[in-house]
Amino acid sequence: MGRNAAAVLASIVGLVMVLTAFARPLEFLGTAVVDWFNVLAAIAFVLGGANLLKMNLLKISARDAGWGYSAVTVSVFLITIGVGLLKVGAHPDPLHPDVALSGDKEAVGGAFWWLYEYAMSPITSTLFALLAFYVASAAFRAFRAKNTAAILLLGTAFVVLLGRVYVGVLLTSWIPADNAWVSWLRLENLSGIIMGVFNNAGTRAMMIGIAIGIAATSLKILVGLDRSYLGSSD
């Protein structure tokens, strides 16, 4: 019963969204549903935060292995929430200086800005930078030029990488740049051709395929054929 009602709800709001794209007078309905969607998405962040708190507090109370790290996570999470909600260190909006919480939460110099600038941003970008080593190491171990497809993949990656660094440009700098018949052989131009022609064609075809796939999946949800998002009925 509950699953059927939920599937009907999904169909109704989905069809409203489709309808508003074709019937301009109903645009206000689409705007309202998108607003509700955004509010729900924001509440989902609150749910995520509450779940993080719950799981880590359970780990701390059970003194599980690594509970100290959970304590760090909980402390930092609560500090971030506290300074963010109270806008600690952020000055009010100059147009409304009498309203203490009217300022920008991410104003330079505020505690929330500090946490983003000196904790979140450097750690996340270093984590992503770390992948440079692992991608290179994995590629070195896994890539083998065994057939045409593998040779194309390896060769393209090599040309694109070399075409965007000084040493790559230097390697083919002896090819005259002003002769249009041969200048395309310079690595920086070859890299541009790969990106503009072959990569463009492949990406375009993939986007067409993905769009058809998403449209088909959306249609299955809208007519209630696909209910996998509701989980099993057990």
Partner 1 sequence: MSQLNAPLHDPAVERRANRMMVVILAIACGLLALRALIGSSIGSGADAVTEHGFGMVYVQESPKGFVSEVAKDRAADGTEVEVRTWKPAAPGQTPEISWTEWNEVTAGEWAAAQRARADAPASAPLVTVSWPRTAGVWFAALMTLAVLSFLWRDNPVYKLAESVVVGVSAGYWMIVATWDTLVPKLAGALVPAWTKAHLMPSLESAGVDWWGLVPLGLGMLLLCRLSARVSWLGIFPLAFVVGTFAGLRFVQNIESDLLAQVATMFEPLVVVKHQALAGADAAATPPIDWAGSIGASLSAVLILVGVLSVLAYFFFSLEHTGAVGGAARVGIWYLMITFGASFGFTVMGRIALLAARLEFLFDDWLWLIDPSGKH
| Subset of 170-209 contacting partner 1 (CB under 8 A) | 180-181, 184, 193-209
Positions in 152-171 near partner 1 (CB under 8 A): 152-161, 164
For position 72 contacting partner 1 by CB under 8 A, the verdict is yes
For position 23 contacting partner 1 by CB under 8 A, the verdict is no
- Could you say which of 31, 57, 62, 117 contacts partner 1 (CB under 8 A)? 117
For position 98 contacting partner 1 by CB under 8 A, the verdict is yes
- Could you say which of 23, 26, 27, 54 contacts partner 1 (CB under 8 A)? 54
For position 28 contacting partner 1 by CB under 8 A, the verdict is no
- At its nearest, how many Å lie between partner 1 and the CB of residue 169? 14
Q: Between 114 and 188, whose beta carbon lies closer to partner 1?
A: 114
DSSP letter string, the chain: -HHHHHHHHHHHHHHHHHHHHH-GGGHHHHHHHHHHHHHHHHHHHHHHHHHHHHHHHHHHHTT-TTHHHHHHHHHHHHHHHHHHHHTTTPPPPTT-TT-GGGS-TT-TTSHHHHHIIIIIHHHHHHHHHHHHHHHHHHHHHH----SHHHHHHHHHHHHHHHHTSHHHHHHTTTS-TT-TTTGGGSHHHHHHHIIIIIHHHHHHHHHHHHHHHHHHHHHHHHTTS--GGG----
Q: Return the range that interacts with partner 1 (CB under 8 A); candidates 57-65, 73-81, 169-177.
A: 73-81
Number of residues binding to partner 1, judged by CB under 8 A: 138
Q: Between 171 and 194, whose beta carbon lies closer to partner 1?
A: 194
- Could you say which of 23, 26, 57, 119 contacts partner 1 (CB under 8 A)? 119
For position 75 contacting partner 1 by CB under 8 A, the verdict is yes
- Could you say which of 12, 23, 26, 58 contacts partner 1 (CB under 8 A)? 12
Q: How far apart are CA 177 and CA 188, in angstroms?
A: 11
